[in-house]
Structure 1
Amino acid sequence: MYREFGRILKQEVDVPIILAGRMDNPELAEESIGTCCDIISYGRPLLADAEIATKIKEGRVEEIRPCLGCHEGCMGRIANATVSCAVNPACGRENIYGLTPALQKKKILVAGGGIAGMETARVCALRGHDVVLCEKSDHLGGNLIPGGVPHFKRYDLKLVDYYKRQMELQGVEVHLNTEVTADTAKSFQADIIVCASGSTPKQMTVNGELPVYTADEVLLGKQDASDQIVIIGGGLVGCETALWLAQQGKKVSVVEILPEILGEHGAMPHMNYYMLTDLLNYHKVDIYTDTKVLKTTSDGVVVETDGTQKVLPAKTVIASIGYKENNMLYEQLKDSEIPVYNIGDSRQVHNIMYAIWNAYELARGL
């Protein structure tokens, strides 16, 4: 982020220059030393992975747990809680919240290969359990796959890569294209079942002439977006999707029924809020709050604000109105003879920190 400033300073001063700010890419850091700086400084990446320097030195880059830049566990908590890390629940409390070997080795079945499922599998395997992870799709990562499509969310996909590597290193038996059902669960002969089935986008029906797609469908390329777009829902996914589309030169409007955008799950870290809202403004995304959608026409989306109706021009309509828990498997299995747990989004839809911390807390006690 600050490499060009360092490059200029390097030509003007003869004192050592320390460079920080998203320099956790080892190749970028190595390239910067000598041309932009003399020393690389790590802050948040050390919260995510205290061994980052050692892993770089030993060539174990794929084992680095990446900082997402989300601020949920660090700067977002600094005013009223202990600084920690969204992707590293033990950060700041390693002595009391670390991992210990399991008292009794067990076979654990994890149903779901999203982030919560993989964190559960990782921790259980580290503690000595035999772990089988089943994912019904052909890939791991869950909702981080569509979430990581925008270039400014690329670190989400790095986290998925980290977990894939951990599954290999810890000997987790992974089965893709394998859905765990109430009928098949018994065949695994597990001592414990952990349901990490995740969540799916809520569907929305709007009367009128235009189809309504989910943000996931557009992010994954299953549906094309035109050059005029209305996004219904101004939460984090809706606003990030709006920014991503606007950066492609498309005209985007966001319609939010609440008084403010980005209000789900409580207040988001202020630096993230202001950065995202500033970027939406810079890319000329129109924001309509306290506004409800009435219908669609061939011209666009009819909305109402304070009793006044207007048409927002659109050829594509995207609904981003939240996610719903996939808890059906847990409901079917919860009365089984063996312990069955429900974690992550399938327990309660929330953010990535909740999913990882929830999984870690459960797995360290199994």
Structure 2
Amino acid sequence: YIHHAEAVKKVTNLPVIGVGRIVDLDMAEKYLQEGRADIIYLGRQLTADPETPHKYAQGRLDEIRKCIGCLEGCGTPCPINYDISPDALPLTPAAKKKKILIIGGGVAGMEAARVLALRGHQVILVEKGAALGGTVAALAQDPLAAEFKNIVDYLGTQMRKLNIDVRVCREATPRLVEEIKPDIIVLATGASMRMPELAENKPGVMDHVEALKNRAAIGQKVVIWGLMYGAEFAISLAREGKDVTLVGEAGEDTLASHASMNRRWWIVRQLVDMNVVRATPDSQRVFNPRVLFHTKVEQISPEGMTIRDKDGKQNVLPFDTLIISRGRKKNDELFAALEGKAEEVYKIGDCANAANILGAVWSANELARKI
């Protein structure tokens, strides 16, 4: 948004403040040097990391916790900075240092590892995948959520700086747990998309997270089943030039209803008020992405998705790729099997309550500061 400040500077001799999505202080300095603004105002970035100017001045750039632009909280609470809350539990040295095994290397697991290590505990984090970040890292593959990578990068840096024992490509088997012999186990295995029975093992079908990780496999004609989580992805794919149809059983109030008020407002405006209209040979107005509310899915076959609208009219939506984005289930199957393997066993993040980044980071802190 610096172009707004630049435009004002051209018509006034008063000092002009530049503001809006400036999270990189090299960028801020560049704008000042170019004369595009006289002062740079850091808003959300100072909420995400109040120490940003000091870290920058000391050359600790990789330790800056950059705002992820999620529009969730933007004050108190901030999804990625638990300490901004006046009700935050203090971060104090542990009264008794323990060996703690964290299972799952998503944002919740990484944040718990960071806080536990800062308190003096011996932390071992195991992740069955090849990389850390979990669902948030997958979401960051989407251009509309690319800044989510900021928190994954920050936590990855903290794992290295705190010398946390991170073991990727390692599944938490009973044998591994017995080898480690932890005092405490923290389960942070996240959540996964619910796959409807009628979509299971059907060609061309993938869940939302799988589609984010394997975007190149998404075909030209796309149907997304799920108004809540699928709404923003529909916009992103349509911007790429895909022919997208978003389908759901509920009404407009369900669109992106998991998102914060500000983010949801933007998504709904894109889908309902400012939808892209493209011309067709017969001059029909074709909306992309097309949104079908109050629509029941009856069958999925090689011909496409058979649907029925609220008036009872049946139709078939052909697709190259069908993306399932209909809600999530907790990956907490390990919890019962781990009972008795350590003095205490806990769940945090999505495997305790499938929510969002705020839920992941804050649940990690609420536990890690008490152990």
**TM-score normalized with structure 2 length:** 0.89
The number of residue pairs the alignment matches comes to 355
2:308·2:315 contact (CA, 8 Å) conserved in 1? yes
Cα gap change, 1:262 to 1:52, in 2 (>3 Å): farther
In the alignment, which residue of structure 1 is the partner of 2:143? Answer: 151
Tell me which amino acid in the other structure corresponds to 1:140.
L
2:183·2:342 contact (CA, 8 Å) conserved in 1? no
Give ranges in structure 1 of 5+ residues lacking alignment. 76-82
Cα gap change, 1:85 to 1:12, in 2 (>3 Å): same
In the alignment, which residue of structure 2 is the partner of 1:85? Answer: 78
Tell me which amino acid in the other structure corresponds to 1:85.
C
**Cα distance between partner residues in 2 of 1:197 and 1:298:** 34
Query: Could you say what secondary structure the match of 1:70 adopts?
Result: coil
Summarize deviations over 1:94-147 as a string: whole Å, max 9, x none: 7x6221111111111111100010011000001111111111111000011221
Query: Could you say what secondary structure the match of 1:206 adopts?
Result: helix
1:299·1:315 contact (CA, 8 Å) conserved in 2? no
Summarize deviations over 1:127-171 as a string: whole Å, max 9, x none: 111111111111000011221111221111111000000111122
In the alignment, which residue of structure 1 is the partner of 2:222? Answer: 229
| TM-superposed deviation, 1:211 | 3.1
Tell me which amino acid in the other structure corresponds to 2:111.
E
| TM-superposed deviation, 1:263 | 5.8
In the alignment, which residue of structure 2 is the partner of 1:314? Answer: 319
Confirm or deny that 1:247 pairs with 2:220.
Answer: no
**Cα distance between partner residues in 1 of 2:15 and 2:56:** 22
**Cα distance between partner residues in 1 of 2:23 and 2:342:** 46
**Cα distance between partner residues in 1 of 2:18 and 2:227:** 35
In the alignment, which residue of structure 1 is the partner of 2:5? Answer: 6
Summarize deviations over 1:302-345 as a string: whole Å, max 9, x none: 21111222233432211111222111221101233511111111
In the alignment, which residue of structure 1 is the partner of 2:283? Answer: none
Query: Could you say what secondary structure the match of 1:274 adopts?
Result: helix
In the alignment, which residue of structure 2 is the partner of 1:78? Answer: none
2:101·2:184 contact (CA, 8 Å) conserved in 1? yes
Aligned ranges for residues 7-26 of structure 1 at < 5 Å?
7-26=6-25
In the alignment, which residue of structure 2 is the partner of 1:63? Answer: 63
**Cα distance between partner residues in 2 of 1:209 and 1:350:** 28
Cα gap change, 1:349 to 1:242, in 2 (>3 Å): same
Confirm or deny that 1:48 pairs with 2:19.
Answer: no
Aligned ranges for residues 1-366 of structure 1 at < 5 Å?
2-33=1-32, 34-74=34-74, 83-93=76-86, 97-206=89-198, 211-221=204-214, 224-236=217-229, 238-260=230-252, 262=254, 268-280=259-271, 281-283=274-276, 284-297=288-301, 299-306=303-310, 307-366=312-371
| TM-superposed deviation, 1:261 | 5.4
- Structure 1 vs Structure 2: percent identity of aligned residues? 35
**Cα distance between partner residues in 2 of 1:243 and 1:222:** 14
- Taking only aligned residues, the RMSD between alpha carbons, in angstroms, comes to 2.1
Tell me which amino acid in the other structure corresponds to 1:11.
K
**TM-score normalized with structure 1 length:** 0.91
Query: Could you say what secondary structure the match of 1:184 adopts?
Result: helix
Structure 1 runs of 4+ aligned residues shifted over 4 Å read 207-210, 261-264
